[in-house]
Amino acid sequence: MTKDERINLRVDAKTKRLLEAASEEAGMSVSAFILDTATLAARHTLADRTVFRLNAEQWAAFDTMVNEPARDVPGLRELLNTPTILDELE
């Protein structure tokens, strides 16, 4: 596949440092890292919009499941609220 299209981005210094650090860790150029990551995100975004078909019985089971109240998973709230290394970059 030939690369004959261009996308230009402007970022602040902090974002640039973050992208440089991540791309270095991945062993990629910044451009390759951004392209790879953005392409993966685009595929995930579009995958969420894929049509799938269910018969009446499958739909009823799916509908029941998604309408159940959310459960509190022990430790999950703490895990999601624990600072990570990414918080240090902000």
DSSP of 4-43, one letter per residue?
---------HHHHHHHHHHHHHHTS-HHHHHHHHHHHHHH
What DSSP designation does 68 have? S
Q: pTM for this one?
A: 0.54
| Domain locations in the chain as residue ranges | 13-81
Helix axes 13-26, 30-47, angle to 10 degrees: 90
- Region 45-66: mean pLDDT is 88
- How much of the chain, in percent, has pLDDT values that exceed 90? 62
pLDDT tens digits, 5-38: 999 999 999 999 999 999 999 999 999 999 999 9
Place of tokens 């951004």: 34
Q: Which helix (H) or strand (E) holds 85?
A: helix 85-88
pLDDT at 1 over 80: no
How is residue 82 written in tokens? 């624990």
